[in-house]
Structures are given as C-alpha cells and as structure tokens.
Amino acid sequence: MLERFNMSLGQGLGKVSGKVFRIGHLGYFNELMLCGTLAGVEMGLKLAGIPHRAGGVDAAMAYLAQTPTAQLAQAA
C-alpha cells in the first residue's frame, strides 16, 4: 500500500494487536478525505490478497450522504 498508494497503516495496539489496523492522519480530515482513505484501504487489501469484505466505501458514502454535517462533527 505504501509503494502503490503512498498510504501507511499501523498495527493495532495492546489487546487488538494483530486483529485490527490503524489509519493515521494529521490535521484536518473531512468526509471526502475519509472516502478516499477507505478506498485506498480496500484497494490495498485486494492487491495484497488479504481476505476482506468489500463494500465498506459504499457503506461509508451512504452513511455520510444521509447524516447531517453537524451530527458528524459531534461524533468526532
């Protein structure tokens, strides 16, 4: 993913080490940036041959499209 998309993922920490990954960012991060990030993760997992359930980007876009921006800001 780093070589192909210039995206780096971190491993889970503590009890979730080896079970999840972390997506890091610095500074401002909006809904469109999130969609691009999730797309990069899905493409990277596919290229690496890592089994995953596709469709996360579509689900995120559907959720973001129907959720008011103010509600998204409160959840952050």
Beta bridge partners of 75: none
Q: Is residue 12 part of a domain?
A: no
Nearest to 1 by CA among 39, 27, 56, 35: 39
- The domain tally of the chain equals 1
The 10s digit of each residue's pLDDT in 10-60 is 889 999 998 898 888 778 888 888 899 999 999 999 998 999 998 999 999
Q: Is residue 1 part of a domain?
A: no
Q: Is residue 61 part of a domain?
A: yes
Q: Name the pTM for this structure.
A: 0.76
3-class SS of residue 28: coil
Longest dimension (CA), the chain: 38
Q: How confident is the model at residue 61 (pLDDT cuts 50, 70, 90)?
A: very high
Q: What's the domain range around 29?
A: 24-76
Count CB neighbours of 14 within 10 A: 5
